[in-house]
Every structure is written in C-alpha cells, then in structure tokens.
Amino acid sequence: MKKFTPLILLGVLVAAWFGYLAFKDRGKLAELRLLTTGEMSNFVIFEKPKPLPETPFFNRKGETIRFADFKGKATLVNIWATWCEPCREEMPTLNTLQIVMAGQNFQVITLSIDWQGYKVIDPFLEEYKITDLDAYWDKSNRLPNQLEVVGLPLTILISSDGEWIGRMDGPAVWNSNDAITLMQKAAE
C-alpha cells in the first residue's frame, strides 16, 4: 500500500494541473463578465472563446494582416465606417482609451469597412484628430458577415492568447472608468 501512495498522490496532482489548465481561461472570462457594468453593461463576454475568421485585411502599406497577427496583446478591434454616425461619436473615446492604456499588454485597432479605403479613412482620422489608433481596412468586406455584424459599430475583444472572447454591438464611451477597468483586466 505504501508503494501506491506516491502514485496516487502523483495522479491527483496531475489531474489537478489539467483541471487548472482547462478552467483557467473560463475563470478569466468569468472575472471579465463581472466587470460588464455601467457603460460596459452591453459588452458580452462569451462563455468560451470563439474562433476568429482568417480572412485577411490590410494596413496602410497594403500588407496582409490577420487577427492572429495580434496574438500576444489583448486587442480591442472596432469595426466601423466613416458614414456611421455612432462610429464618429465613439472614435475619439477609443483614441483616448489607447492613450490611457499605453504601455500595458493592450491595444486598440480600428477596422474600416469603407469601400473607398484609405481615401476616406485618412481624412476622417485627421478631421477627428485620431492620432493613436492603428487603422486597418477590410478591402474584401467579408469580415462583417463572418463576425455576425448586425449594425455598426461592432467592437470585439481578442485575448492575448489570440482568442475572440467578447463583443459589444453599438457605440460605447470607451474612455469611461467602466471601459478602462474592463480593458485593464483583459490586459492582465
């Protein structure tokens, strides 16, 4: 019986470790869910991560970018268009969120679905003094369907592990204390 005791103990430890690995992300999601209050009360944190589309989009240089390229930092992705009035209203608050969160394991990016691309994106960003956000363009316009966009803006949250963990349909005040607290937790 004494020979089996270390084996039983080892088995319990291995099972506990695998249990921890299986549920650690769900624990983080539960913690994030508790922070969806106030200005973030419409932010939905998923029960478990969802797969992200692999459809490419483009940066200003015309280089192909995919959501997987942002792995390593929690990333808030705002899908928007220059003709969208709520997008116009919230864009400055996203810029401020990026400034407030600078230096943390977090970034805000914008993904425009404008057909005209940077010909309309850049003047918009200049007009609204959006200086701290990286702007990308969904040239194919396939991502709105793949991300189940029902209206603009749509903002999605990607964990530092590269998993889609939440979404907010519609505009928000992204420089509010509620948003900052939620994003700081996401950045941990």
Mean per-residue pLDDT over the chain, rounded: 92
Predicted pLDDT of residue 59:
97
pTM of the model: 0.86
pLDDT at 23: 45
Phi-psi map region of 66: left, alpha, beta (phi>0 left; psi -120 to 50 alpha): beta
Q: In the predicted model, is pLDDT for residue 11 greater than 80?
A: no
* Domain at 4-187: CATH code: 3.40.30.10
**Residue 187, pLDDT score:** 98
Q: Are strands 134-137 and 154-158 parallel, antiparallel or unpaired?
A: unpaired
Confidence of residue 14 (pLDDT cuts 50, 70, 90): low
Residue 129 burial (10 A CB sphere; 0-12, 13-18, 19+): exposed
- What sections of 36-188 are H helices per DSSP? 85-100, 118-127, 143-146, 177-187
pLDDT in tens, 48-101: 999 999 999 999 999 999 999 999 999 999 999 999 999 999 999 999 999 999
